[in-house]
């Protein structure tokens, strides 16, 4: 018996699971768009994608809140009145006129990061919590009141 045989134990060959199914392969008859449509239909939405909640009913002027923003409003005890919602919506309209993309909106005792093109509140916090914070990836700020 050689020295290598003494040092290395006998290694069994590696096998895949007995029940493994072969991957589904498209046939040459299927076009790219057909395969893509099939994949899109069968793909589950990733959990990291935030769903949006509509707080107004008209499509073009709808103000949306991301799941993250809704959670922050609830956890931080921020309650928004109809006037607050109208003020945020007006702020987004004005920011849109200036071609803003992602903005900090300061309104009363609260601060909001909004995605202007999709009219979406991304996050919310009390202004006091915002003091000393550094906001990155914004291109504009609007002080509403």
Q: Taking 80 as the threshold, does the pLDDT of residue 37 lie above it?
A: no
**Residue 115 counted as domain residue:** yes
pLDDT tens digits, residue range 51-70? 445 444 445 678 999 999 99
CATH code, domain with 131:
3.30.2310
Q: What range defines the domain where residue 70 resides?
A: 52-143
Q: Per 3-state DSSP, what percentage of the chain is helix, strand, and coil (rounded to 5)?
A: 30, 20, 50
**Residue 71 counted as domain residue:** yes
Provide φ and ψ at 10, rounded to 5°.
-70, 130
What's the token pair of residue 51? 């769903």
pTM of the model: 0.60
Q: Taking 80 as the threshold, does the pLDDT of residue 50 lie above it?
A: no
pLDDT > 70 fraction of the chain, expressed in percent and rounded: 59
């Amino acid at each position: 018996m050689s020295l290598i045989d003494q040092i290395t134990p006998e290694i069994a060959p590696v096998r895949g699971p007995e029940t493994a199914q072969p991957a589904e392969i498209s046939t040459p008859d299927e076009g790219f768009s057909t395969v893509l449509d099939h994949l899109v239909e069968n793909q589950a939405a990733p959990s990291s994608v935030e769903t949006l909640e509509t707080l107004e009913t008209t499509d073009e002027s709808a103000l949306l809140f991301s799941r993250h923003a809704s959670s922050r409003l609830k956890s931080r005890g921020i309650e928004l009145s109809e006037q607050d919602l109208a003020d945020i919506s007006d702020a987004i309209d004005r920011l849109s006129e200036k071609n803003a993309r992602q903005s900090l909106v300061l309104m009363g005792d609260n601060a909001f990061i909004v995605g202007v093109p999709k009219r979406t509140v991304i996050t919310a916090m009390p202004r006091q919590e915002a003091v000393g914070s550094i906001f990155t990836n914004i291109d504009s700020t609007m002080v509403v009141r």
